[in-house]
Amino acid sequence: MIRLFISFIVFLVMNPMVGHSTANFRFEDISENELAYNQLISNLTEEAVEIATVSPVKPFILKVTDTHGNWIAGLGGYDFYGSFIIDTLWVKKEFRRKQIGSALLNCVEEHAVKNKLSMITVSTMEWWNALEFYQKQGFSVEFVRSGFENNYRQFNLKKMIGHAQTGYSTVS
């Protein structure tokens, strides 16, 4: 399941009040409940659409299977207020370097152009060694985040979509 807005809700899991009650509120750790998580995201999105007059967040998931119906690759992400965020891109080890990841990114770019989205963003952890792959696909490093276990870094990349291909201006 796609994990949207996780940075916005981490405080709920880390809050020392979890599992405790106050006179009017009860904090409960429901991290394992996917339906509850989706409801939380739905509530947040509904309010954002109302406040900012923006498009709702919409998931976009691609599945790649072999001739036996087994998963060999997939991509999960979402339209996010005029952009597209890739949450997960995975290709089974033995199917890597066969252009499947590139094809998935091409599908996302077609989706972005069709829906007039301004950019595609993705983050990847250093240990995946995927930075060069994304750069070959036209992504550029927007920023690098440090402070992860074992001193690993997270590369946050984006690819602008639009003006040259669709005639509308993009957001910087």
pLDDT given at position 167: 44
Higher per-residue pLDDT: 58 or 121: 121
| Domain 57-172 class in CATH | alpha beta
Is the pTM higher than 0.95? The answer reads no
pLDDT given at position 32: 84
Sheet holding 71-80, edge to edge: 58-65, 71-80, 83-91, 119-125, 154-160, 140-145
Question: Is-contact 41 56, C-beta < 8 A?
Answer: no
**89-132 pLDDT tens trace:** 999 999 999 999 999 999 999 999 999 999 999 999 999 999 99
Could you state, in order of their start, the residue ranges of all structural domains in the chain? 1-54, 57-172
Closest CA to 41 of 80, 84, 89, 88: 80
**7-42 pLDDT tens trace:** 334 444 445 555 556 678 888 888 888 888 888 888
pLDDT given at position 139: 98
**Amino acid making up residue 54:** V
